[in-house]
Amino acid sequence: MAAATDGLRSPAGPLIGRSVPRLDGFHKATGRFAYGTDVVVAGMLHGRVARSPYPHARIRAIDTSAALATPGVVAVVTGRDLPERRFGALVKDETVLAVDVVRYVGQPVAAVAALAVEAAIEAAARIAVEYDPLPAVDTPEAALRAGAPLVHEAWTTYVAHPQLIRAGNVCGAATIAKGDPSRGLADADHVFEDVFTTEPVHQAYLEPRVAIAAWEPPGVLTVHSNTQLPFEAQTVLADLLGIPPGRVRVITTGIGGAFGGKLRVGVEHIAAVLAQRVGRPVRIVLTMAEEFAAAYPRHAMRITLRTGVRRDGTIVAKEAHALLDAGAFGGSSPGLPSVATLVLAGPYRIPHLSIEATSVYTHKQNFGSYRAPTGPQCAFAVESQMDMIARRLRLDPLEFRLRNIVRDGDEGPSGQVFGKVSLEAALRKAAAAIGWGHRRQPHHGKGLACSWWTTTGGPSAVYARLHADGTATLATGCAEIGTGALTAVAQIFADDLGLPVENVTLISADTLATPYDHGAQGSRSTFAVGNAARAAAADIRRQVLGLAAEVLEARVSDLGLRDGRVYVRGTPSRQVELGDVVRLAMQRHGGLVSSGTFVAPATPYKTDCVSGHFYPAFHAPSFHAHAAEVVVDPETGTVRALRYVVAQDVGKAINPRLIEGQIEGGVVQGLGQALRERIAYQGAYPLVHNFSDYALPRCGDVPQITSILIEEPSDSGPHGARGVGEPPIITPPAAIANAVHDAVGARVTDLPLSPERVLRAMRGRLEGAA
């Protein structure tokens, strides 16, 4: 297996930096692409889940007789029918079906397998469950009060990562401590304290979660699912079912949107236990009502910032406290305070820091890893306060930021040392593009915001093979989740081998047929899989040139690869078709095959700065600045975005059009969180059950979006690329909030910036002035 440091790499060729079409684009555009909901298996049954109507209750009895009597029903399974094994990413706190106690509205209680979907629906509705309702905690603040009900009374018995900080309803916490914050605040000329809140928002993918599970001799489970992480699903299923992972095959289907919402298992485990019970394949497709009741939306957060500043606008100290609503089970939540602390520090030079973030159980659905988890909430707080401080000190918000941003060679909040930092360029380019400082019309405003983000690590491996017809196959365990990342990987691979990108066939995300990959998450796919593909390409290139040197009677160092041919530099007429070289390799030793691996190098940090951390430094960090122009209706408080600019350091734009698509999509999602979207609750009861209840942005809400790609190469990305998928969603809420304040002088510190909140803030400002 070739390592990512192997030589014989070619320099960036004609494919790098080109906006080649997506490899899956034609099939998606023509309706021929198969998504998870399109997959069927012969003889399959249909599954349906019965769910809790209470946020917290004890299960006294479950009567399945009426469900079993429903025509077409083959089996009904309850929690009592299954071994009580628990699962979870960092703490194993969840069972496949509820046993004894339900902990949120929508928690699975029983499951049905039937010959037809209609029969499964009817049978699930006929399952009679007797509940004793119990007191529920609906906010982290309520869950942390003395005497509050424990969401998990037996939390001390759960298997958990030893690094986790847990206590009662706290399922995870992380801190950053640097310098002497108390002294820094005491020495500051001004200390500003502000509180910000955000509400939960849904990923709003169009295709719900789906899985088809089938058991095959000799006891092998095959699952087709639209999961983002097939290898994690394989491990979880094997653990829950008590079988070796090698007897579980997970195949990722086409994915109709995910955005982090399909990282953790959703229905795969329920389909698997039903299929095991009935001895036939079982398919479960969730409804959108189920998706809104029992998915992994973005966390609601409450953030308190206390920042000390000198008269000249230099930030000297910051204290930050953040609470994350984890919901009823841990999922991704125990590890996310680590990420939150880094974003809360901001991309600023601050010598004294005390930052803590805490994930807290409540009796709500599980909250999870929506694109850039914790990023938008924390950046909203940090960048709103930056503007608030600038206005209070009568400083220009742009100049205030430029005075404090990190630069080349500075230390990050946990002690990591930055290489090249492009943040000043991003801020100046975004400000110039939006016309910062130009006169504005009444009720129009402009806002700036900036932040930083990571390129998630984790290993990637690929298999590669050249064929006698001059085409190639590249196999990766990473799923294509709709971003086009694997097209960029194919570009990288093809460029190194002098092939047209359309000559590369991708095989992805099959735990039996492809090598391990850490998964399509955290802006890592092109970065990590691209590096692994370069390693495999370098090995194949070595083999090709070695054989071609014999055929052409030339030195390897004199050979080049281009357009499916090997040629002698300086004498291009001396060449051999790549297919002929492959045929020679087949005769000699079975063909031209290779593999490549990549593991992101660790980013050094100061261990004494952090505690409870699972993500103590941002790898290959990217820096970005956003600028927005809005108009506010003074009569209704309605905000309309007019123009939006993103200046983002992408390292190297492997495929500019794909990156621009990521930026535009991320901005639209960010505008939704900024202005409209929220999963409303009455206590612990959700009030949103479908897209008709959920205020997604409409086409008419989307402004003109300008993308400015800054290319400051990273040290470890393929051709210097950085992660690009998540940053665009992080800063829109802050940029919009700052633009609203600029337009009407009213500050809203709670998301979303609904017309009611904006109007209330405007009236409060007028009343205060009076």
**Does residue 452 have a pLDDT over 80?**
yes
Short-list 16, 104, 555, CA closest to 362 = 104
Instruction: Say which residues have a Cβ less than 8 Å from residue 163's Cβ, sequence separation at least 6.
Output: 612, 613, 614
Distances in whole angstroms, Cα of residue 714 to Cα of each of 232, 601, 710: 28, 12, 12
| pLDDT score for 8 | 41
Instruction: Say which residues have a Cβ less than 8 Å from residue 315's Cβ, sequence separation at least 6.
Output: 307, 308, 309, 348, 349, 350, 404
Q: β-strands 45-51, 190-198: how paired?
A: unpaired
For residues 345 and 310, the answer to whether their CB atoms sit within 8 Å is no
SS3 letters across 102-123:
ECCCCCEEEEEEECCHHHHHHH
In the structure, what pLDDT confidence band is assigned to residue 248 with cuts at 50, 70 and 90?
very high
What is the C-alpha separation between 688 and 105, in angstroms, rounded?
12
pLDDT in tens, 703-749: 999 999 999 999 999 999 999 999 999 999 999 999 999 999 999 99
| pLDDT score for 764 | 87
DSSP letter at 295 equals S
What is the C-alpha separation between 502 and 505, in angstroms, rounded?
8
In the sheet with 559-562, reading across from the earlier edge strand, the strands are 559-562, 565-568, 571-577
What is the C-alpha separation between 244 and 260, in angstroms, rounded?
27
607, HSE (Cβ side, Cα atoms, 13 Å): 0
What is the C-alpha separation between 557 and 570, in angstroms, rounded?
12
In the sheet with 45-51, reading across from the earlier edge strand, the strands are 73-78, 108-114, 45-51, 282-285, 210-216, 220-225, 248-252
For residues 211 and 250, the answer to whether their CB atoms sit within 8 Å is no
pLDDT in tens, 319-339: 999 999 999 999 999 999 999
For residues 335 and 301, the answer to whether their CB atoms sit within 8 Å is no
For residues 300 and 200, the answer to whether their CB atoms sit within 8 Å is yes
Structure tokens at 616: 């103590």
In the structure, what pLDDT confidence band is assigned to residue 1 with cuts at 50, 70 and 90?
very low
pLDDT in tens, 377-417: 999 999 999 999 999 999 999 999 999 999 999 999 999 99
Q: What is the CATH number of domain 38-134+208-255+262-293?
A: 3.90.1170.50
Q: Which helix (H) or strand (E) holds 315?
A: strand 315-327
| pLDDT score for 765 | 78
In the sheet with 592-598, reading across from the earlier edge strand, the strands are 504-508, 472-476, 460-466, 592-598
The DSSP line for 563-627 is TTEEEETTEEEEEEEHHHHHHHHHHHHS-EEEEEEE-PPP----GGGEES-S--S-SS-EEEEEE
pLDDT in tens, 281-300: 999 999 999 999 999 999 99
- Does 2-33+457-598 match 301-455+605-769 in CATH topology? yes
What is the C-alpha separation between 139 and 141, in angstroms, rounded?
5
Q: What is the CATH number of domain 2-33+457-598?
A: 3.30.365.10
Structure tokens at 98: 């509820």
What is the C-alpha separation between 475 and 429, in angstroms, rounded?
39
| pLDDT score for 769 | 63
pTM of the model: 0.96
For the chain, give every domain's residue range: 2-33+457-598, 38-134+208-255+262-293, 301-455+605-769
pLDDT in tens, 24-80: 999 999 999 999 999 999 999 999 999 999 999 999 999 999 999 999 999 999 999
141 three-class SS? helix
Percent of the chain with pLDDT over 70: 98
710-713: long-range pairs with CB below 8 Å, 24+: 710/422, 710/425, 710/426, 710/429, 710/647, 710/648, 710/649, 710/650, 711/649, 711/650, 711/651, 711/652, 711/653, 712/420, 712/421, 712/422, 712/425, 712/649, 712/651, 713/420, 713/651, 713/652
Burial code (b: 16+ CB inside 10 Å, e: under 16) for 304-325 equals ebbbbbeeebbbbbbbbbbbbb
Peptide bond into 218 cis (omega under 30): yes
Short-list 37, 441, 421, CA closest to 212 = 37
The DSSP line for 517-543 is B--S-TT-IIIIIHHHHHHHHHHHHHH
Query: Exactly one of 94, 480, 660, 726 is catalytic; which is it?
Result: 726
Q: β-strands 704-710, 639-649: how paired?
A: parallel
**Does residue 262 have a pLDDT over 50?**
yes
Please report, to the nearest 10 degrees, the dihedral formed by the alpha carbons of residues 629, 634, 636, 638 taken in order. Answer: 0
**Does residue 10 have a pLDDT over 60?**
no
Q: What is the CATH number of domain 301-455+605-769?
A: 3.30.365.10
What is the C-alpha separation between 614 and 482, in angstroms, rounded?
28
pLDDT in tens, 453-511: 999 999 999 999 999 999 999 999 999 999 999 999 999 999 999 999 999 999 999 99
- The answer to whether the Cα torsion of 755, 760, 766, 769 is positive or negative is negative
In the structure, what pLDDT confidence band is assigned to residue 4 with cuts at 50, 70 and 90?
very low
Q: How far is CA 133 from the centre of its chain?
A: 35
| pLDDT score for 154 | 97
**Does residue 12 have a pLDDT over 80?**
no
**Which of 216-220, 248-252, 369-373 comes out lowest in average pLDDT?**
216-220
For residues 589 and 402, the answer to whether their CB atoms sit within 8 Å is no
| pLDDT score for 117 | 98
| pLDDT score for 2 | 43
| pLDDT score for 320 | 98
Using DSSP, how many helices (H) and how many strands (E) does the chain show? 18, 29
207 is catalytic: no
pLDDT in tens, 149-168: 999 999 999 999 999 999 99
| pLDDT score for 439 | 81
Phi and psi at residue 71, in whole multiples of 5°?
-55, 130
SS3 letters across 344-356:
HHCCECCCEEEEE
pLDDT in tens, 529-566: 999 999 999 999 999 999 999 999 999 999 999 989 99
**Does residue 766 have a pLDDT over 90?**
no
Percent of the chain with pLDDT over 90: 96
